[in-house]
Amino acid sequence: MLEQRSTGSATTAGLIAKIGVLAVVAALAVWAALPLIAAEAWWGLALEAAVAAVLFYVYLQRRAIQLKYLVPGTLLLIAFQILPVVLTVGTSFSNYGDGHRVDKEQATEAIIAAGVQQTPGGAIYLLAVGESSAGELTLLLTDQADGSTWAGTEEGLTELDGATTDPTGRITAAPDYTVWTLAELNERQAELAELAVPTGPESGIRVQGLSAFEGQSTRSYDEACDCITDAETGTVWHADDETGTFLTEDGEPALVGWRVNIGFDNYLDVLTDPDIRGPFLGVFAWNVMFAAGSVLFTFAIGLGTAMALNRPGMRGTKVYRAFMILPYAMPSFAMLMVWAQMFNRDFGLVNELFNLNVDWYGGTWSARAMTLIANTWLGWPYMFLISLGALQALPSDSLEAARIDGATGVTAFRKITLPLLLIALTPLLISSFAFNFNNFNAIELLSGGHPFKAGDSVGGTDLLITYAFRQAFGSSSADYGFASAISVFIFLIVATISAVMFRFTRNQEDVYS
């Protein structure tokens, strides 16, 4: 009787939990559907509805027990692994970036809006400038007539809810936007002067000092010739659908283009353009050196420490091991910032402790040595742990047979211990190489890619991943298509090296099995 009551309670609790989870799924589905409907993203809406339907189908029936465990993991794999890879590869075949963020219609409207001249009676706005959460330059506007707040980009004007204004009505803060300071505004005046917000077929908003105005454009679009004509200057821009740009007869592009598929151009630029290929190959060579050096140094120190603490009869090994893994237990981003201060030329602990006067950030090789030292300190406790476990798992009969055959310590280590360790640890060493090949934090937090040569966008300690990040987000002109192509190169390089190393491991297994 008691057992039946317990089973019934468990069933009821499980049913309540299932209803609660499905209610959350339904709420999330509705929440995600609303912006998709507003954006008329019907394919996205269909995909979202299909995912919700699959979840309800799987969890509302008693059969298909395996699917109840497989579906969540599969959906997360698709969302966080497969989908980003597909989007990255797709973006690498486009010219997506600053100046090519919008479609052709929006680009046409933006170019027409750039020719706006103030007209009597047009709307006047109080101006603040900022960036959206996606990094897009945005005019934050307050209509002086009615106090309404708006956000304007090259795509158009949208109403802004929840904005905070000062007593004069100027916006000082807004959700999802970072408002520029006056100093930032002065630094980017040229970029701001080029921005125009389209509000109609031949009207738009332009910046004038600390305010903005809405007026009529002197430019018009002619569908017959697929061109834009400025009636005031006589300039004519013809559309080039291959590059996604409006061009004059002299080949001068308009300020705004549109997103198009450019095939393998981004990949060919990396391989054939001397201005890109040279820095890319230099970064690639250092990237391989950094990843291989990090694995070599951390493994050598970790294995040496593990062998020292694995000697039978040694006292206090538990205390030693606890101290050894302290760097591994601390947050790496915090430790990297500490190391960055320790390498300060004037007040850093490293120079003070060893009575040095090294400008670690000033020279390319000193900065590279600095990154390897800090990364080795962070990574060797991990190698210590896996090496210690592998040493303790080695078959004792092989080592005993080597000793009986007269092998010395060095010979036994080189011909017996190390090969057996490598068979067990090579997959972990490969994963460590792949991790360090893309170790963004180690470079960005420690050196920031420095040192940079004058006029060069590639730093002496840049890895391919930090180089790609700077191309996409860190420079004044973002180029997402080119950065995506570099990301694909990184994937192919790591995959190739990993495949070669796994093949080497299989050969070693055949020899020592």
Over the chain, what is the mean pLDDT? 87
pLDDT at 415 over 90: no
pLDDT at 475: 64
Instruction: Tell me the C-alpha distance between 351 and 362, whole Å.
Output: 14
pLDDT at 300: 96
pLDDT at 425 over 70: yes
Percent helix, strand, coil in the chain, to 5, is 60, 15, 25
pTM of the model: 0.79
How many helical (H) and strand (E) elements, i.e. helices and strands, does the chain have? 20, 15
pLDDT at 269: 93
Per-residue pLDDT tens over the stretch 106-144: 899 889 988 888 878 788 999 999 988 877 889 999 999
pLDDT at 1: 45
pLDDT at 318: 79
Highest mean pLDDT of the ranges 145-149, 298-302, 311-315: 298-302
Show the tokens assigned to 303.
Answer: 């294995």
pLDDT at 510: 64
pLDDT at 2: 42
Per-residue pLDDT tens over the stretch 190-249: 778 778 899 888 788 988 888 899 988 999 999 999 999 999 899 999 999 999 999 999
Show the tokens assigned to 141.
Answer: 């506007």
Per-residue pLDDT tens over the stretch 437-459: 999 999 999 999 999 887 778 89
Per-residue pLDDT tens over the stretch 344-373: 998 899 999 999 999 999 999 999 999 999
pLDDT at 506: 77
Which pLDDT band, with edges at 50, 70 and 90, does 3 fall under? very low
Element (H, E) at 291: helix 274-309
pLDDT at 290: 97
pLDDT at 416: 81
CB of 237 closer than 8 Å to CB of 244? no
Distances in Å between the Cα of 334 and the Cα atoms of 151, 328, 337, 399, 442 are 37, 12, 5, 42, 11
Show the tokens assigned to 82.
Answer: 């497969």
pLDDT at 6 over 60: no
Percent of the chain scoring above 70 in pLDDT: 96
Per-residue pLDDT tens over the stretch 150-203: 999 988 899 999 999 999 999 999 998 999 888 888 777 777 877 889 988 878
Which pLDDT band, with edges at 50, 70 and 90, does 509 fall under? low
| Positive/negative CA dihedral, 333, 337, 339, 340 | positive
Q: State phi, psi for 314 to the nearest 5 degrees.
A: -75, 135
Which pLDDT band, with edges at 50, 70 and 90, does 395 fall under? confident
Burial of 363 (0-12, 13-18, 19+ CB in 10 A): middle
